[in-house]
Amino acid sequence: MTAIREDRVFTQTDFDRFAALSGDDNPIHVDPVFSAETRFGRTVAHGMLLYTALWGLVRRHFPGAVQETQDLMFPAPTYAGETMRLEVDLLDRPAPDRLDLAVRVVAAADGTVTLDGRTRVRLTGGEFR
């Protein structure tokens, strides 16, 4: 498997919609006035919004994949309006129907990692593409 890469720009509207969908309306994500007074200086993405985008990328390349485990860290914030690179790399294939994947969100401008993790998926319904 070659590395999977996709660029994406998250918007404040994405943050607001994810907050409405998830119920996580922490002002650090949805209130620019509040966030301006924090150490971040502006709103930041929900960690699970970032992982949801990665999971969508995984599912487009591995249709029918089922997540078995995930381990995620968020070492830096993701801000609205910045180009981010979603990255998925094969780490291991512990069984014919299992893949261990590295997942990352990286700022395209300077390489700052904002999500770093791994996930194990079970393949269903055939081979991956």
pLDDT at residue 119 tops 60: yes
Question: What is the Cα–Cα distance from 32 to 14, expressed in whole angstroms?
Answer: 14
* Within a domain: 128: no
In a domain, 61, yes or no: yes
Distance CA 75, CA 42 (A): 17
- The CA-atom distances, in angstroms, between 81 and each of 45, 107, 123 are 11, 11, 34
pTM for the full model?
A: 0.91
Q: What is the pLDDT of residue 25?
A: 94
- CA–CA gap between residue 1 and residue 15 (Å, rounded): 32
- Decide if pLDDT at 125 tops 80: no
- Residue 127 resides in a domain: no
The CA distance from 40 to 77, in Å, is 8
- Asked whether residue 129 is domain-assigned, the answer is no
pLDDT surpassing 60 at residue 127 = no
Domain at 92, CATH number: 3.10.129.10
The structural domain count of the chain equals 1
Average pLDDT, the chain: 94
Average pLDDT estimate for 112-116? 98
Per residue in 28-80, pLDDT tens?
999 999 999 999 999 999 999 999 999 999 999 999 899 999 999 999 999 99
Q: Is residue 97 part of a domain?
A: yes
pLDDT of residue 129: 47
Taking CA atoms, 122 is separated from 59, 65, 74, 82, 95, in Å, by 11, 6, 24, 32, 9
From 96, 102, 112, 117, select the one nearest 48 (Cα to Cα).
Answer: 117
- The range of the structural domain enclosing residue 106 comes to 4-122
List Cα–Cα distances, 98 to 72, 107, 109, in angstroms.
19, 29, 33
pLDDT above 70: residue 126: no
